[in-house]
Structure 1
């Protein structure tokens, strides 16, 4: 038996409430957590898992879709708490996660700092300090596009760059479920590119959405927006045409 459990968690970020959606995949004795929230997020994760009937300590694997702070902020703390858990990420992401390369988001923030109005500089520098403070975590298993992880009837790795270079989405073949990460988000009931103004390569991000359209998707789960309700293929097509 295997199952998929979105874990919607409300968080206040820079004074605004938002909901992020890590996902717990259960397969026999294996528990696979997809993304893990902001720094200091373990109590919220624990509560969300308990609501679904799972203990945090039961996690055996963690998949990082990419190294943005809201997806991996608690990753190092989780790995300390769960020393037997395997961290899985795209091979491009590995050096950013383990700290051997500077965060792409931090590089982006540094390169655009001089373009900001004076009143925005202090907030931007605080954001950069927070990015620089994220603890590194070593990747145990590196994956690439087309790799199949052996749980839930086969979890296909889909390389969906654009938002970040090593971003991945996950396709659960048996249930035709797509865990999109930030490849797409739900905003006002529609699919969109995640923060298109901050995509490292917007053209590549749109091409990644086209890649997703080649899959038969019955259920779509976005990190921002949760489960999408509606015509998935039609919504993806509309998104692509909008850009």
Structure 2
């Protein structure tokens, strides 16, 4: 088993941005962690193919949490590859499937009420983008401590950024896929943008939790790989 990054570079508002979905390779089976923004399916496919892998071997998609840059292309993947097993925490699955209104949409609507005038148009646009996301049913709902992927991966609940956020711990690889539980700043692991954290205190606790695993590699969706 091994983990590779799928670095995606794109432009937004005239600025270059990057995200780093992860690909878990186990024998001939592939598991994708997070799916980028809407319309990113082709970008991710190209990265997988560039690394010498066949899309027919993509068996699972794991979603770390409900955010537009993580689930944006989930529906497109499900439409094109209906056999794929969709995995997420039980909490996040409620938002992904549309069973409950997402925390992020609730937060965005509340923030809009107090936004400076110059930011209101962006706030409205962002809310509409969230509303445009298509629902996807989750096949496998996981919890803290669950073992998945042939018992090679332990689910680690890392709430804070969102309430059902999960990270993935691979003891044999001494690696953690952190999602947005951690980002790299000044060569350190820190919590992702506190402005968007639903609970900063819990986010700090979750960061300590994955640091305490003392992994050698932390795969951060924003920032790439942090290696001790």
Instruction: Name the TM-score class by shorter chain.
Output: over 0.9
Question: CA, structure 1 residues 143+211, in 2 after alignment: closer, same or farther (shift >3 Å)?
Answer: same
Equivalent residue runs for 1:49-88 within 5 Å: 49-88=48-87
- Contact 1:41/1:74 (8 A) holds in 2: yes
CA separation in 2, counterparts of 1:133 and 1:172? 34
Equivalent residue runs for 1:33-52 within 5 Å: 33-52=32-51
Q: 1:220 Cα shift? A: 1.0
CA separation in 2, counterparts of 1:86 and 1:184? 26
What do you get for the CA RMSD once the two structures are aligned? 1.2
1:220 maps to which residue? 218
- Contact 2:39/2:72 (8 A) holds in 1: yes
Equivalent residue runs for 1:10-25 within 5 Å: 10-25=9-24
CA separation in 1, counterparts of 2:160 and 2:43? 29
| Residue correspondences, number | 228
| 2:184 alignment partner, SS class | strand
- Contact 1:46/1:55 (8 A) holds in 2: no
CA separation in 2, counterparts of 1:190 and 1:27? 29
CA separation in 1, counterparts of 2:15 and 2:87? 31
TM-score (norm 2): 0.96
TM-score (norm 1): 0.90
Matched, 1:202 2:200: yes
Q: 1:198 Cα shift? A: 1.2
Q: Which runs of 5+ in 1 are unaligned?
A: 232-243
| 1:92 alignment partner, SS class | helix
Matched, 1:112 2:98: no
1:94 maps to which residue? 93
Q: 1:26 Cα shift? A: 1.1
1:211 maps to which residue? 209
Q: Which runs of 5+ in 2 are unaligned?
A: none
CA separation in 2, counterparts of 1:57 and 1:29? 10
| 1:25 alignment partner, SS class | strand
Summarize deviations over 1:41-90 as a string: whole Å, max 9, x none.
01100111112111233210000000100001000110111111100000
Summarize deviations over 1:207-227 as a string: whole Å, max 9, x none.
101211321301111000011
CA separation in 1, counterparts of 2:48 and 2:13? 25
